[in-house]
Amino acid sequence: MRVFGIDPGSERTGYGCVETDGSRHRIVVCGAITTPALAAFPDKLHLIHSGLAAILRDCRPQAVAIENLFHAVNVRSALKLGHARGVAMLAAVESGVGVYEYTPAEIKKAVVGYGRAEKSQVQHMIKLLLGLAAVPSPHDAADALAVAICHLHSQMPAGVAGAAPMPARSKATSWRQYRPASAPTALPPAPLERSGPSTSSGPSRASSRDGGTGRRTKPLS
């Protein structure tokens, strides 16, 4: 299976293609599309779209995974990032394959096993999973490879090709339905040993009644 990952950005869009045979990952290509700083914004979008479309034609992946937009420094940056992500998704749809979106937390969880992992931890795992001598550069390319590996791990059972194990879910939907896996066997109570008449100092039930006839005695005035 071959997956193409995209890390969108208006200034630099990372891309990375990963191929797997079910037991080992192999990098096909990775890099970043950098737009000229002085170029008009529409020209930057056109460059991102045309660049990704050309690379997708060469890689011919079975799926495209793209990082979902989750935050930006300000509204202006969010709008620019949204435009860049839109043209990147358009190029992916035009390639005729399925497009999948993942949040940064989902990507970190699939690659590292922890949804709040640091970027350096993700990059280090990318290097180990792909058998590289160094972390892919620029960091946008490493992020794109992480998106691709996230999709690969989501399509494979846990424990295959370094996929992070998914925690087992309990069938119980409420704490009231919880039952321990194996309850200890209760032992029968030991018989009491009687050594003589009862030494209880309290009045017996019969003593509180009149002669044991069942009628309660009236208190003395």
Q: Is 101 a catalytic residue?
A: no
Task: Determine which one of 67, 101, 143, 210 is catalytic.
Answer: 67
Which residues lie closer than 8 Å to 31 by C-beta, 6 or more apart?
A: 14, 15, 16, 141
Which residues lie closer than 8 Å to 164 by C-beta, 6 or more apart?
A: 109, 110, 111, 112, 113, 153, 158
Which residues lie closer than 8 Å to 133 by C-beta, 6 or more apart?
A: 127
Distance CA 30, CA 159 (A): 25
Task: Determine which one of 101, 106, 140, 143 is catalytic.
Answer: 140
Pairing of the two strands 2-7 and 12-20? antiparallel
Distance CA 82, CA 86 (A): 6
Q: Is 67 a catalytic residue?
A: yes
Q: How many CB atoms lie within 10 A of CB 190?
A: 6
Q: Is 210 a catalytic residue?
A: no
Where in the sequence numbering do the catalytic residues fall?
A: 7, 67, 140
